[in-house]
Structure 1
Amino acid sequence: MSVQALILVDIQNDYFPGGKWTLSGADGAAAKAAPILAAAREAGDLVVHVRHESASADAPFFVPGSEGAKLHTKVLNRADEQVILKHFINSFRDTELATVLERNGIKELVVVGSMSHLCVDAITRAAADQGYTVTVIHDACASRDLEFNGLTVPAAHVHGAFMASLAFGYATVISAEQWLAR
């Protein structure tokens, strides 16, 4: 049994062109996540999909039961793969994720998904704090422009800053190509 799990975080329709909260590079990130998913399946690793739904029907995106809240077709789960429903940024908060990982003897996590600056960051830090070894596949993650104090921060800078921060103390941060070559 593998001690590694692939966690696909919030790769959902609302983040893609035509969705309610489009991310910069969502298509490209999902295209990088797809071969990671295929390799994890082939290796017999545990695969866990995390899907976010807002708590309210009037939320700006991920409205419960909506098309936008569904997993994107590039990385759909198989019937034998766990889908964790969450309502908070941190995938561990008020979910069964920790129980699923513990029950399967998981020690190492590979993380892909969205958004780099929120949910990917939160799960990576929480997992590292809980003792997991974490690898983030940076080009299989997506973000968006942010604004702070009148300054627009381009998505590439947001993504880069968060990946650099995670690489500094929480995770190994590598490309899909590097991970697949291992």
Structure 2
Amino acid sequence: MSKRALIVIDIQNDYFPGGRWTLSQMDRAADNAATLIAAMREGGETVVHIRHEFPTADAPFFAPGSTGAEIHVKMSPKEGEPVVLKHHINSYRDTHLKRLLDERSINEVVICGAMSHMCVDAATRASNDFGYQCTVVHDACASRDLEFEGVAVPAAHAHAAFMAALRFAYARVISTCEWLEEYGAR
């Protein structure tokens, strides 16, 4: 039998309008993530919140102790829900995330959050490498416009490219509605 955890990555104030590193579609992603959290809580399953802080105050966003580094109110952890503080892109690097999942005998992870092209990608690949069955809920993730060698990459394209790569070999990639339908059928 599968034992599942929801991993909510970096849904923090700096990514929302008015923050220091605004993402495209962040409000929509957070609303969908909140729906996932509510379903998992109702089902008595594990919800893990990941919170990123850079190690120094001169960080472009998520500066230590700043309001921008706080988990957004839509994602407020309930008492007893683990919050994993990280200082790197990969949620497993130098954190207790893997130990936490293993202590709870988790073998399936559902991943959402930000940024699609960085921390969501890194956590999904690492989760797969550690042997967890992975699902990414794509519309509960957000990205931003990127640029490479003078080529502008709109946020929607960056997000789609990373979701396509994850779907190819690392995870099932589905929508919030699809996940809710599956979850309700279990």
Distance 1:84 1:170 in 2: 23
One-letter amino acid matched to 2:47: V
Report what 2:73 is aligned to.
Answer: 73
Show CA shifts across 1:90-116 (max 9, x none).
Answer: 000000000000000000000000000
* Pairing 1:1-182 to 2, within 5 Å after superposition: 3-182=3-182
Partner SS state of residue 119, structure 2: helix
Partner SS state of residue 49, structure 1: strand
- What 5-or-longer segments of structure 2 have no aligned partner? none
Distance 1:166 1:19 in 2: 28
**Residues 2 and 45 of structure 1 are in contact (CA less than 8 Å); yes or no, is this contact kept in structure 2?**
no
Question: What percentage of residue pairs aligned between the two structures are identical?
Answer: 61
- Once the two structures are TM-superposed, the CA of residue 79 in structure 1 deviates from its matched residue by 1.3
Distance 2:27 2:13 in 1: 10
Partner SS state of residue 57, structure 1: coil
- Once the two structures are TM-superposed, the CA of residue 44 in structure 1 deviates from its matched residue by 1.1
Distance 1:56 1:80 in 2: 28
Partner SS state of residue 34, structure 1: helix
Partner SS state of residue 47, structure 1: strand
Distance 1:33 1:96 in 2: 22
Distance 2:180 2:130 in 1: 26
Distance 2:42 2:146 in 1: 37
- What 5-or-longer segments of structure 1 have no aligned partner? none
- Once the two structures are TM-superposed, the CA of residue 85 in structure 1 deviates from its matched residue by 0.1
Show CA shifts across 1:143-181 (max 9, x none).
Answer: 000000001100000000000000000000000000011
**Residues 2 and 107 of structure 2 are in contact (CA less than 8 Å); yes or no, is this contact kept in structure 1?**
no
One-letter amino acid matched to 1:72: H
- Once the two structures are TM-superposed, the CA of residue 2 in structure 1 deviates from its matched residue by 6.6
Deviation beyond 4 Å, 4+ runs, structure 1: none
TM-score normalized with structure 1 length? 0.99
One-letter amino acid matched to 1:18: G
**Residues 8 and 50 of structure 2 are in contact (CA less than 8 Å); yes or no, is this contact kept in structure 1?**
yes
**Residues 23 and 143 of structure 2 are in contact (CA less than 8 Å); yes or no, is this contact kept in structure 1?**
yes
